[in-house]
Structure 1
Amino acid sequence: LNDAARNRAYRRAIDAAVSDPSARVLDIGAGTGLLSMMSARALEAVGGEGRGSVSACESYLPMGKLTRRVLRANGMENKVKLFHKRSDELEVGVELDSPADVLVSEILDSELLGEGLIPTLQQAHDSLLVKNPKTVPYRATTYGQLVESPFLWKMHDLHSNEANAADGVWLTPDGMENIVSVKLQQHAMQCDPLEDEIRLLSEPFKVFEFDFSERPESQRENKITIKTTGDGCVHAIISWWVLQLDSAGSIFYSTAPKWVRQSSIKDLPRCADDTKDWCDHWKHCVWFTQGRGAPVMKDQTLSLRASHNLTSISYQLLNPNDEACNGNLKADHLTLLPERIALYGDIYWRSALITAIKNALSDRSPQTCIVADDSIFLALLVSSLSPSSKVIAMFPGLRDKGATYLQAVAKANNFSMDQIQVIGKRAASLSTDDLEHKKINLLVGEPFYCGSEGMLPWQNLRFWNARTLFHSMLSEDALIMPCKGVLKLCAMSLPDLWKSRRSLKDVEGFDHLVVNETLGACGDLPGEQQGPCLPYYVWQCGYTKVQSNTDSRLDA
């Protein structure tokens, strides 16, 4: 809603599409009702008030209630029919008087398809729309580009990075290089901050085109021939999409990286605002090449197989025999997020944990050790350094997958599965029966919990909570690592992030003041309201500047 380029593009396209006074408009996924109100205003401008209609559906009830507040604030409550339903719950002759001849929607995520665009369009074309309807957007095209990047390489090639560490802990032993790998999916990520870390190895290439005015296919496959532009190693495919909002092909919106928007490539559609500001609602997408990447030479011809299903797009680089370079994952393989892969391969982080555990074990051999989280690194480390200890891995997120993985790598890390037990429980569920009524001598954690990458900083102190829950089970001389948490803070200038989260007033002529408290806007709020605390990686926040020291702290 703070993206002026997006809002302006939609307004212009809707004004062009709603040209018939008897138009029947359907808005799927109404949100705050912005597109519905644009449609009602456009209908009124062509003399369609009382003749045409605007209907909208918003299935998420809290958002639907907010939509009604926005409609009332703008005097639009009688001009838009709002239904608290999914679009596939609407029926012509019940909620809708007749099939709609104009569809407006914005159900797009960073990958394009993740919010259910294809099944939504399929059902709408089957049941809710006339034949050959007008649509806003009219078309979407996805693009990709091959890149080499040391930063991205560290986020998927754990085997090479831990081989460089040479510290004796093998999360990915020889012969099992991909047993821990990044999830095979497109990962939403701001790539503009990585521009200095990226070497482009191809020109942008078209992947798929989606025509909103026609019923889309559930799945397709496309073989793309790519000519490389330099020597290097393909670590990833960076992708984005471009919307053509009108049928005339004059209104575009792009999520392309900055280096693409600033280029003069002829075949790419030009947007009206090619200096588009940073935004956090749509990011670029990164598909990691498995293993060590794919070495290439300049002017080499590569084959890429792209495929999509109902909700996602995937890629496979092909060798000269048209065979996929990426192998299939086995049952004992773990898939982790890129940030976790990068951390597990970080030499300095590994060294710090190894030193701490060795110091803890230097003058004792604990009988019972608890790994309080999903740390496969600590489970392997303690088991290999203390063969006489009973190691209990909580693995609340990994569960049986974690146990299968540990069994696969036990021999390479010189420990027996007889000494390690995977509980698969959270700390609150652990009982003395699980410990066979023995006391805990060593309690460790990273702390890491499955899916914690989007947590606020102080939520990583939940190890403190686990330690408290285990208090009655600890021996008197129990060692606890980490033994202390320090939460630091500093003031920062984040103008790009601030702009994307700032409080809303007028959005393309419509009052949005009522949404600020609900949506968690920043700035210009009443004194009793506070801005939200949001989990962001600072390097993903556009322009940043530190404005204070980091002396402020909370010790735990």
Structure 2
Amino acid sequence: METGSMTNLISRATNHYFPLRHHFPLISSSSFRPKKSPKRFITRTMSSSTKSSNQQQQCIFQLKIDPLTGNSEWIVVSEEEVKDEVFLSSTSYLDMLNDSPRNQAYRAAIDKTVTKPCHVLDIGAGTGLLSMMAARAMNSSCAASVDDTVGMVSACESYLPMIKLLRKVLHLNGMDNKICIVPKRSDEVKVGDCIARRADVLVSEILDSELLGEGLIPTLQHAHDELLVQNPRTVPHRAITYGQLVECEFLWKMHDLHNCEVKVSDGTHLAPVGLETIVGVKQRQYAMHCNSISNDIRLLSEPFKIFEFDFGKRPDSHGVTELCVNATSDGRVHALISWWVLQLDREGTIFYSTAPKWINSPFKDKELQIFRPSWCDHWKQCVWFFPGTGVSLIKDEQVHIEAAHDETSVSYSFKHHDYKANPGNCDADSKDCQLTFSPERIAIYGDRNWRSSILTTVKDAVRTLFRCVIIFHYIFYLHQSCFKLYPYYILVELLLICQIRTATSFQLQGKDCSLCVVADDSIFLTILIASVSTNSQVISMFPGIQEKGFRYLQAVAGANCFSMDRVKVIGKKRCLTMDDTNQKKVDILVGEPFYYGNEGMLPWQNLRFWKERTMLDPVLSKDVLIMPCKGILKACAMSLPDLWRSRCTLKNIEGFEHSVVNTSLGACGDMSASKEGPCLPYFIWQCGEIKELSEVFTVLEFDFLKPISSCFGRKRVEFSKTGICHGFVLWIDWVLDRENSVVLSTGPDHRYWKQGVKLLSKPIAVGNLESCSDTNAHGDRRGWVEFEASFDASSGELSMSHSFQ
């Protein structure tokens, strides 16, 4: 059985026996997922009866993905085999626990709420921080012990790696006998079986940037129906969402591909007239650090209230509200930015806000406690894109907006004469060929410079191929006709002189029947090559978008002046064979590279293109043209205080020791070199305060003209600026042509790509020592760093080390 078939089979079986929402890849202790699950390891929890009934062993279905092939397989991992760092180091648990304002707000609210012996239920317990706060508050408020029949704390957590950490944290803090762990999802908990009685107080943190995305509503519904007393006290007590209308060209470019293409006007139409929405983003809210784009934003309204959710009452699954918003300035609304404010106590004195920095607190009472994080990655603002070019507004105009929510999301629509909800909407027959990409991918496809670079290189490659075909035909013809009169090398010289003049003639005669292969999911390259080389055959692998990609090409072929007779889509994660090419060798192999679904992975995992180029070696012609022909791993030493602070080691959190979780969560700071944290993908421009401390330097080069191979690089770099170095930022520049004249960078200056970040175990003071004449000012500053990296061709992993001097 093929890997894909086996994966589908096990996936169906898993969903049958362990009911999940298919779009939540990890089980959490609520009905939904843990915080920001790692892409390479998708897990589902199961129980096994290999032990006695009182000691059920838990296992995990782990979906392991090979970054070089895209292949995946399910493996079963037992409780003893689980390595916490594999599952947890890429999550946002660490960032959340490092959010001091959050921790302080919860402590204040729990101390105020739990004032007598009662039953406290913690849903989504994680490391048990909130459970321990509740147990402490109960102990300090009365002489009764927490573990009697009246006072108790039940910590509900089902994610196996986190359960193991929860046990360690409780033991470290002497809370083993004061908190009862319930190793199940909350919707599997039953009174009388898992917990003794209904809970009087609910403490929870099942919130994401959108508020509802982690299953807040269904979790609260089940809790109120099955687990809580009537009129329970809850922490948080209430949540209110707010919004603001903005004009922002940067945000507009992230969703409106059709109108971006109209501005570019280069003849390639991914979203042509009449099919304006055939390529776009999914209509939903997108989490983003909006503070980082504050200079690109024009505010067109004051903040307005959208929804209010009372945690102490059973919420409705659906809700709709009509909003009337006054325009504060002329402009064009491109997006709605939203955030939320938690009221953590019933009395309304403790608040936590995720509002952007330009929003002043609506609360003026000095007695109130208002907590706002300086920067954190686990809760951001959200952006809702309004379709097309947006809505034109005039100052003081009344704008009517309909906001609606279901169990897990919020959506918006304008009630305005200038607003078209779905401009150029595809008809029913075309729905099946619509492609949805990330906002960053849409922005890339609409970027003039990116398109121009690709277009220039492809045209040059096709012209080069035509010249080769012409040379071959003429040499063969002249050698057959004139070999008695002229030596062979003279014929070649004559041919080189006349090839430019005859190129057009040969193209018109239709003899440029080359074979081009698009190795990835690039619809842009497929359309471009099919339209530029009018007689070439094009095979697109489309391993991610598959059959939908083929139907998409059928829909846009006419607008791009090519026939689908010359285009073939493989649509599977397998290697191309000579049978697929009708026994012809490949003349041009191209990729962006872009693999659908891999956008959030580390940059070098796009070296999958190199692996696939190697696997295609048997079908490549000897003089095949490959684009890109090279990848260059670049790096830069940077100061990243906000990001480092969110990933640093945990010690005492509101009175509770957490050092035992540092290794598992991939923390940095006060750790041995062997326990350094992982390299993680981030949009550097969204990482708060940043500063480059060195020049950009080359670490490794990957030659795609040759089969994939392991490689090693070392570079000694001098620091160009003074500051605190928190780590290194890495990315790949793609060299499109052999002359190195066209290079596409994915570095920090380009906001549509994520970079890899390797944080140091301890920050280092650095600077250019030669620029400072006062030797005493050097102190412990380091002037150089030697950076090493090695790429493993068998696993696709990149390892790195550094030495400061």
User: What is the TM-score of this pair, normalised by structure 2?
Assistant: 0.67
8 Å contact 1:317–1:325 — kept in the other structure? no
Structure 1 stretch 229-238 or stretch 526-535: which is displaced more? 526-535
CA distance 1:238–1:98, change in 2 (3 Å): same
Q: How does 1:141-290 map to 2 (within 5 A)?
A: 141-260=240-359, 263=360, 265=362, 272-273=369-370, 276-290=373-387
Picking from 98, 108, 112, the partner of 1:12 is 108
Separation of aligned partners in 1, 2:347 and 2:168: 35
RMSD of aligned alpha carbons:
1.9
Q: Could you report, residue by residue, the CA deviation over 1:217-256 in whole angstroms, capped at 9, with x for unpaired residues?
A: 0111111111111111000000011100000000000000
CA distance 1:266–1:225, change in 2 (3 Å): farther
Classify the secondary structure of the residue corresponding to 1:307.
strand
Q: Could you report, residue by residue, the CA deviation over 1:302-330 in whole angstroms, capped at 9, with x for unpaired residues?
A: 11111111110011111259985667663
Separation of aligned partners in 1, 2:367 and 2:297: 23
1:165 shift after superposition: 1.5
Picking from 427, 440, 443, the partner of 1:342 is 443
Aligned to 2:434: 333
1:552 shift after superposition: 3.1
**Alignment pair present for 1:361 and 2:462:** yes
Q: How does 1:407-426 map to 2 (within 5 A)?
A: 407-426=554-573
Aligned to 1:370: 517
1:358 shift after superposition: 0.6
Classify the secondary structure of the residue corresponding to 1:485.
strand
**Alignment pair present for 1:398 and 2:494:** no
8 Å contact 1:252–1:269 — kept in the other structure? no
Alignment-mate amino acid for residue 398 of structure 1: I
CA distance 1:292–1:322, change in 2 (3 Å): closer
Aligned to 2:134: 39
1:551 shift after superposition: 1.8
Separation of aligned partners in 1, 2:701 and 2:362: 53
Separation of aligned partners in 2, 1:268 and 1:302: 31
Aligned to 2:601: 455
Separation of aligned partners in 2, 1:270 and 1:296: 39
**Alignment pair present for 1:297 and 2:394:** yes
Picking from 414, 420, 436, the partner of 1:317 is 414
- Structure 1 segments of 4 or more deviating over 6 A? 266-271
Give the aligned length. Answer: 552
Separation of aligned partners in 2, 1:122 and 1:471: 57
1:275 shift after superposition: 5.7
CA distance 1:477–1:108, change in 2 (3 Å): same
Separation of aligned partners in 1, 2:612 and 2:188: 44
Alignment-mate amino acid for residue 225 of structure 1: C
Q: How does 1:92-131 map to 2 (within 5 A)?
A: 92-131=191-230
Higher relative contact order (Cα pairs below 8 Å, separated by 6+ residues)? 1
Structure 1 stretch 119-128 or stretch 397-406: which is displaced more? 397-406
Alignment-mate amino acid for residue 529 of structure 2: V
Aligned to 2:235: 136
Classify the secondary structure of the residue corresponding to 1:459.
helix
Separation of aligned partners in 2, 1:194 and 1:78: 49
Classify the secondary structure of the residue corresponding to 1:543.
coil
Separation of aligned partners in 1, 2:443 and 2:633: 22
Aligned to 2:581: 435
**Alignment pair present for 1:468 and 2:606:** no
Aligned to 2:476: none
CA distance 1:101–1:275, change in 2 (3 Å): closer
Select the structure of larger CA radius of gyration.
Answer: 2
Aligned to 1:523: 669
1:422 shift after superposition: 1.5
Q: Could you report, residue by residue, the CA deviation over 1:74-127 in whole angstroms, capped at 9, with x for unpaired residues?
A: 111111110211001111001111100100100101101111111110001000
User: What is the TM-score of this pair, normalised by structure 1?
Assistant: 0.96
The answer for unaligned runs of 5 or more in structure 1 is none
Alignment-mate amino acid for residue 356 of structure 1: T
Q: Could you report, residue by residue, the CA deviation over 1:154-186 in whole angstroms, capped at 9, with x for unpaired residues?
A: 111212222221111111112222221222110
8 Å contact 2:124–2:155 — kept in the other structure? yes
1:398 shift after superposition: 1.1
Separation of aligned partners in 2, 1:248 and 1:439: 75
Aligned to 1:555: 701
Q: Could you report, residue by residue, the CA deviation over 1:484-531 in whole angstroms, capped at 9, with x for unpaired residues?
A: 000100100000001111110011111110111111111211232112
Identity of aligned residues (%): 59
1:433 shift after superposition: 3.0
Separation of aligned partners in 2, 1:430 and 1:485: 23
CA distance 1:258–1:15, change in 2 (3 Å): same
Separation of aligned partners in 2, 1:505 and 1:264: 31
Aligned to 1:388: 535
8 Å contact 2:101–2:372 — kept in the other structure? no
Separation of aligned partners in 2, 1:371 and 1:15: 60
Classify the secondary structure of the residue corresponding to 2:329.
coil
**Alignment pair present for 1:84 and 2:183:** yes
Classify the secondary structure of the residue corresponding to 1:489.
strand
Alignment-mate amino acid for residue 424 of structure 1: G
Alignment-mate amino acid for residue 644 of structure 2: W
1:475 shift after superposition: 1.3
Aligned to 1:478: 624
Alignment-mate amino acid for residue 350 of structure 1: R
Structure 1 stretch 512-521 or stretch 358-367: which is displaced more? 358-367
1:464 shift after superposition: 0.9
CA distance 1:211–1:356, change in 2 (3 Å): same
Separation of aligned partners in 2, 1:46 and 1:71: 21
CA distance 1:231–1:30, change in 2 (3 Å): same
8 Å contact 2:667–2:676 — kept in the other structure? no
CA distance 1:555–1:322, change in 2 (3 Å): closer
1:333 shift after superposition: 2.2
Q: Could you report, residue by residue, the CA deviation over 1:5-47 in whole angstroms, capped at 9, with x for unpaired residues?
A: 00010011111111122x0010001111101111111111122
The answer for unaligned runs of 5 or more in structure 2 is 1-96, 467-511, 703-805
Picking from 677, 685, 692, the partner of 1:539 is 685
1:366 shift after superposition: 5.5
Separation of aligned partners in 1, 2:174 and 2:206: 25
Alignment-mate amino acid for residue 651 of structure 2: K
Separation of aligned partners in 1, 2:224 and 2:423: 36
Q: Could you report, residue by residue, the CA deviation over 1:374-410 in whole angstroms, capped at 9, with x for unpaired residues?
A: 1110010010011222211111111122112111111
